Structure 1
Amino acid sequence: MSEPTFDYFAYGSCMCPVDLKRSLGEPMHPYVLGPATLSGYRLGFNRRSQRRNCGVLDVVPDPNHHVIGVLYRLPWRLSDRLDQREEIPTQGYRHEFISVEHKGQRVDNVRTYVVVHKLSAELAPNDWYFNVVLRGAVTCGLPEYYCWQLFSQMRSLQQQQPPIQLAA
């Protein structure tokens, strides 16, 4: 008998199976279903992560855009650890259940995470977050045009804002 699972749509650092393994404690590659598209949303750097000391991604409703990310089918036993990573207990993110397109099929009741308290303006990612997001996008086979779009969005924010200085 197989264990219970849930579908999860990742669009930020969790697209990277190696980084997700760091939080969830086991290899994530076996759970990657592949690229998926969330219609009616756009990406925004609407949250400052205390842990990463930079802007981090969110999905924001926008009927004229779409977000491409990674669809995972995760064992239910990892649900609480994923919620911890997404800072559910401290109201960093909250669950949202969405539909995505994956390999030409609609997949319903997919969990993703959205920022609870959005910033009034976007905040640039640091180099570490920038790199892990791109590594996940490339590793999991997101379309080349979309990887370039991610790169351009993050680079543009970094050029507009000075880097956050870490306290000595």
Structure 2
Amino acid sequence: MTVLSGKTHLSAVEFPDPQILSTPMPQSNMTEFFYYFAYGSCMCPVDLKRTLGESTHTYVIGPALLKGYRLGFYQRSQRRNCGVLDVVKDPHSYVEGVLYQLPWRLSDRLDEREEVPNGGYRHEIVEVHRDNWIYRNVRTYVVVNKLEEELAPNDWYLNVVLRGAVTCGLSEQYCWKLFHHMHQLQQRQKRQQPLRSA
């Protein structure tokens, strides 16, 4: 295996210009960008644009796989008033998501969205797989103080997560798995509400 511009090629084929393969746009200086793996609402470029203030479609590399983690709703978003996604280490699982290559100038705005300054999430540096490549030094976000049990998302969050998953080409099987997980949490929450109000 050879490491090329922050990623490792898994096949024996050598390419004359690996930088073109690691960059969705023709950029000469790779240090101006960072890789970002989104697994929740940020998978949706339209929703990400709302926060970052510019279109992010051109920064999408495509669907990617994070091995050794699983999804869970272990954070309560004050802004959305519901459970939001987190990734938790699990050697027997994986998470599908969207790999971006974002300009460094957007880093602080992304941190604000993920509530890093307030201790909501923190950076986690991971490796993600896409086609025959391993991308290294990829930023994702994990919850700092995790809830003891999962908290259901609201309908808005469920829809934006699914829109991002489908739009950016995550596998159909994974999209259904994601939908069922979120729907089951919502159903559990509805069953528990009458008990809490009694």
Distance 2:80 2:155 in 1: 10
Q: Does 1:81 align with 2:120?
A: no
CA distance in 1, matches of 2:51, 2:28: 23
Say whether residues 1:11 and 2:11 are aligned partners: no
Identity, % of aligned pairs? Answer: 70
Q: Equivalent residue of 2:109, what SS? A: helix
Q: Distance in 1 between matches of 2:132 and 2:90?
A: 22
Corresponding residue for residue 117 of structure 1: 145
Q: Deviations over 1:45-89 (max 9, x none)?
A: 000000000000000000010000000000010000000000000
TM-score, structure 2 normalization = 0.81
With 101-110 and 124-133 compared, the bigger mean Cα shift is at 101-110
Paired position in structure 1 for 2:99: 71
CA–CA separation in structure 2 for the residues paired with 1:82 and 1:34: 18
Distance between the aligned counterparts of 1:112 and 1:42, measured in 2?
A: 13
Residue 37 of structure 2 aligns with an amino acid whose one-letter code is F
2:168 corresponds to 1:143: no
SS at match of 2:97: strand
Q: Would you identify which runs of 4 or more consecutive aligned residues in structure 1 move more than 4 Å?
A: none
Task: Indicate the structure (1 or 2) with the bigger Cα radius of gyration.
Answer: 2
Aligned-partner residue type, residue 105 of structure 1 = W
> Match for residue 70 of structure 2?
42
Aligned length: 164
1:134 corresponds to which residue? 162
DSSP-derived class of the 1:118 partner: coil
Q: How far apart are residue 102 of structure 1 and its match? A: 1.0
TM norm structure 1 = 0.95
| 1:2 to partner: Cα distance | 4.4
> What stretches of structure 1 of length at least 5 have no aligned partner?
none
Q: Flag the structure with more relative contact order, 1 or 2, with Cα contacts below 8 A and sequence separation at least 6.
A: 1
Q: Structure 1: how far apart are the matches of 2:78 and 2:131?
A: 36
Instruction: Report how far residue 103 of structure 1 moved.
Output: 1.6
1:108 to 136, 140, 151: 136
Aligned: 1:91 with 2:141: no
